[in-house]
Amino acid sequence: MSLFLEVVPVALAVETVRSIAPAIGDEIVPIGDALHRVLAGDVRAGGDLPGFDRSVVDGYAVRASDTTGSSESMPAMLALQGRIEMGQAPPGSVGPDRCWYIPTGGVMPPGADAVAMVEYAERAGDEVLVHRAVAPGENVLGRDEDFAAGSVVLPAGRRLSPQDLGVLAAAGVAEVAVRRVPKIGIISTGNEVVPVEAALTPGRVRDANSYLCAGFVQEQGCEPRLYGIVQDSPALLRPVLEEAAASCDCVLISGGSSKDVRDMSAGVIGDLGEVLIHGIAIAPGKPTIIGRVGTTPVIGLPGHPGSAFIVLVAVVRHLLAAMSGTPVSPCRVRARLAANIPSAKGREDYVRVRLEDGAATPVFGKSGLLNTLVQSDGIVVVPAGCEGFETGEEVEVVLW
């Protein structure tokens, strides 16, 4: 067995995971249970919204032509017909040189095409003096100005926010079709890995990756399922991976991906299914495995949490998004480098940086350090064909 990996570009790794993302199906849920769920299809308006012409201010419903030329010194004088109540149809129409008082949200009476704000009008007995001309449609929300019947209210693939739920309710949508929440199995491997609550002895490390992966998976709108710690034994890993692949939509295995005689993840994945990629031209994260067991994608992550997290961000995020039917749109900002970032050609370098006052300071550290994960705000990606960036260069920072 060769001890060297045959690495592929990050773009090919992303293309591969997206191509093997399984279809996970849809379900119908009440909108009260739909927060952060992903729409399976477009939601269209069943009728016009708001469904009637209404005022957006407190004022007087008028014919705009009756206010032409009005000013402080020469106001338009209109006969007040009465008051329009909230939630009720107007009791009459607006004729020439007439008006109705209308509150914000009130239904516009027939004949009126604008609203003169109370701030620019003055009541004098049964008459109203309008001190500022209004144009047709001014201070009026049209019956289909929010959403026209049949138009898309929310598109497929949208992860629903609290404001989305409010819009759905206003549109009379009580239930929505959403993507089923992908279930992601998480397995930690390594003879050196012990539970979080265990006391450390020389050579041992606590199981950080299970919780790192679970948190990332939840942040992407998926459901993590932890399968615990498995020692470096193909015979022990095989049944756990079989169970996880049968019960989950995707499986993440941390550790056991490096190319040496102890690290056995690729062998077990290959025995149960197929290994599509073993090695990505990315730093950190080179020994990443992409495979599948049946139709279930299986990703072998590096054992070190810092490297594992970079692979989650650079590759696994695309797999989870493809399963969920959502776009990958991380938050990005521009900043100037406070120090040089060296890089070797032929691989993408993902360099952690800290942001302060518009400057990005690289957070370098020895392999195995965990503090760079919490002392950084995001990453700068150095393309494979680039030898790095120099101090003062403007770079794009992908925020965590």
pLDDT along the chain (400 residues), means of 10: 73 97 96 96 96 97 97 96 96 97 98 97 96 98 96 96 97 97 97 93 94 96 97 95 98 80 81 96 94 97 93 97 92 95 90 94 83 92 91 94
What are the tokens at 9? 């570009």
Q: Any bridge partners for residue 378, and if so which? A: 353, 399
Contacts with 148 (C-beta within 8 Å, 6 or more apart), sequence order: 45, 48
pTM of the model: 0.84
Sequence-ordered list of residues with C-beta below 8 angstroms from that of 384, at least 6 positions apart, any chain: 9, 10, 281, 345, 346, 347, 348
Per-residue pLDDT tens over the stretch 306-336: 999 999 999 999 999 999 999 998 899 999 9
In order of their start, the domains of the chain are: 10-24+181-324 (3.40.980.10), 26-48+152-179 (3.90.105.10), 54-141 (2.170.190.11), 332-399 (2.40.340.10)
- In single-letter form, the type of residue at position 322 comes to A
Going from the C-alpha of 115 to that of each of 81, 143, 385, the distances in angstroms are 14, 15, 62
Produce one character per residue of 355-394: b if its CB has 16 or more CB atoms within 10 Å, e if not: beeeebbbbeeeeeeeebbeebbbbbbbebeeebbeeeee
Instruction: State both tokens at 108.
Output: 């516009």
